[in-house]
């Protein structure tokens, strides 16, 4: 395939990918209010499946009412409640959803929960964030060889999301315990066995925003995520080596070959858009 055809195919893929990254909910959603603050959203009727007005562990009342004049779900925690109280309430709700088979994959990992102003007000189990429409943060690393080829990874077939697809050198969530630089360092080691201090020219490249329906919760989920991506050179003689069992293998691709594979849908949507950002598109 000549360069012009490759570029045309990639441009066509990119237009579709950008449209797919910004989609409205598949069904109407109502705000999720905890302690008087909107922290997410849920599909109409979704929480009714665990029982309207149910007392979760007899500590928290879940009810449907109003917020700012519109219907909303309320997880009753006192206004101005501390982070620990909101965290406990949200994780109690997450457990109830898990018991009802309405969660995403359970990870035993806490992610930060923010209010509309971006303040962290609590944390919640990662498996519940999509069904509760809670905004998340992720980090990716574009790793380059000295000759300009790009390191990519093939995701393990045991991954709960996008098994077997190709990805950037590293891609992972920012947990509640991590800052963005800490998540970058931790995930780079776990996925690629590389210390960020050993990489050359590390820099923040940009970010990609996602708002799109999620299949989690029987299709009732909604993904809201910001992916910050970084790029750096992996020094010659240094190769990535997976540490956590989540990567099948790594490969080095020339940029033309990379474009072609992305355009063929062999990469995750997130990785493809990060790569497009690196390529200046």
**Which pLDDT tens digit goes with each residue over 194-236?**
999 999 999 999 999 999 999 999 999 999 999 999 999 999 9
Same domain, 108 and 162: no
Q: Decide: helix, strand or coil at residue 255.
A: helix
- What is the distance between the alpha carbons of residues 124 and 135, in angstroms, rounded to a whole number? 11
Same domain? 179 vs 40: no
> 111 and 124 in contact (C-beta within 8 Å)?
yes
Residues 7 and 79 in one domain: no
Residue 80: CATH number of its domain:
3.30.750
Whether residue 124 sits in one domain with residue 197: no
- With a CB cutoff of 8 Å and minimum separation 6, the contacts of 258 are 150, 152, 275
pLDDT (tens digit per residue) in 138-188: 999 999 999 999 999 999 999 888 999 999 999 999 999 999 999 999 999
Domain-terminating residue out of 128, 153, 184: 128
Q: Quick check: 1 pLDDT over 60?
A: no
The rounded distance, in Å, linking the Cα atoms of 63 and 73 is 6
Token readout for 233 is: 């050179």
* 207 in the same domain as 70: no
154 & 188 share domain:
yes
Q: What is the 3-state secondary structure (H, E, C) of 110-172?
A: EEEEECCCCCEEEEEEHHHCCCCCCCEEEEEEEEECCCCCEEEEEECCCCCCCCCCEEECEEE
Are the beta carbons of 87 and 122 closer than 8 angstroms?
Answer: yes
- The parent domain of residue 52 ranges over 29-128
Same domain, 183 and 248: yes
Task: Identify the pLDDT of residue 3.
Answer: 63
81 & 37 share domain:
yes
Distances (CA, A) of 35 to 38, 59, 123, 145, 154: 8, 14, 14, 49, 42
Contact 92, 62 (CB under 8 A): no
Instruction: For 50-91, write each residue's pLDDT tens digit.
Output: 865 455 666 788 888 899 999 999 998 887 889 999 999 999
Domain count for the chain, please give it: 2
Q: Pick from 68, 96, 128: which residue ends a domain?
A: 128
Domain end (from 128, 151, 172): 128
Answer whether 168's CB lies under 8 Å from 278's CB: no
Q: Answer yes or no: do 65 and 171 share one domain.
A: no
In a shared domain, residues 160 and 236: yes
- Closest listed residue to residue 188, CA positions, set 231, 131, 222: 231
- Shared domain for 91 and 195, answered yes or no, is no
């Amino acid at each position: 395939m000549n360069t012009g055809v490759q570029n045309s195919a990639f441009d066509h893929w990119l237009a579709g990918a950008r449209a797919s990254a910004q989609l409205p909910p598949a069904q109407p959603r109502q705000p999720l209010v905890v302690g008087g603050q909107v922290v997410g959203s849920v599909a109409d009727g979704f929480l009714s499946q665990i029982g309207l007005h149910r007392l979760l562990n007899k500590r928290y009342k879940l009810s449907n009412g109003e917020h700012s004049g519109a219907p909303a779900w309320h997880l009753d925690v006192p206004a101005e409640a501390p982070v620990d109280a909101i965290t406990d309430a949200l994780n109690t709700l997450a457990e109830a959803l898990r018991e009802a088979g309405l969660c995403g994959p359970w990870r035993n990992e806490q992610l930060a929960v923010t209010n509309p102003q971006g303040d962290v007000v609590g944390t919640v189990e990662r498996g519940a964030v999509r069904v509760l429409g809670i905004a998340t943060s992720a980090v990716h690393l574009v790793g380059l060889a000295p000759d300009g080829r790009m390191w990519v990874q093939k995701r393990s077939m045991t991954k709960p999301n996008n098994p077997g697809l190709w990805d950037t050198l590293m891609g992972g969530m920012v947990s509640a315990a991590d800052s963005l630089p800490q998540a970058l360092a931790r995930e780079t080691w776990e996925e690629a066995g590389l210390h960020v201090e050993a990489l050359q020219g590390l820099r923040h490249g940009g970010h990609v925003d996602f708002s799109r329906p999620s299949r989690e919760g029987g299709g009732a989920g909604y993904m809201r995520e910001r992916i910050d991506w970084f790029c750096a050179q992996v020094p010659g003689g240094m190769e990535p080596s997976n540490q956590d069992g989540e990567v099948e293998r790594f490969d080095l691709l020339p940029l033309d070959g990379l474009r072609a594979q992305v355009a063929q849908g062999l990469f995750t949507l997130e990785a493809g858009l990060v790569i497009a950002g690196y390529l200046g598109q």
